[in-house]
Amino acid sequence: KGSARAWVQFIGSSAVINASYNVSSITRLSAGQYEVNFTNALADANYAAILGMVPGSAINPSRPMLKIDGTGAYSTTKFSIGTWSPTTTVLADAPMVTAAVFR
């Protein structure tokens, strides 16, 4: 307990992974919407995902927002991330997105 079960850093526009642990792939569903897929399934879906990003020009840099995407609930094999700007309420790719999963 206490160590990350998975983590990833990826490029938002292409979903290319720069570095990761226990993440097999990122699926870019549309601009600003991603699924993080685990290499090895977790024991259950009772985990915390911590998110971060570097905002880009398409995202208001003074108010960038990340969220766990409500359309994709946590599961043992993946979870969803959305990057968007509350100013425009439009999903947009961030240059870099990070996530770490703890349980």
Question: What digits encode the pLDDT tens for the residues 21-44?
Answer: 999 999 999 988 899 999 999 999
Residue-wise pLDDT for 41-68, tens only, equals 999 999 988 888 876 655 445 454 566 5
- Region of 61 please: left (phi>0), alpha (psi -120 to 50) or beta: alpha
- Higher pLDDT among residues 65 and 98, named by residue: 98
Cβ proximity of 79 and 27 under 8 Å: no
- State the burial class of residue 97 (Cβ atoms within 10 Å of its Cβ: 0-12, 13-18, 19+): buried
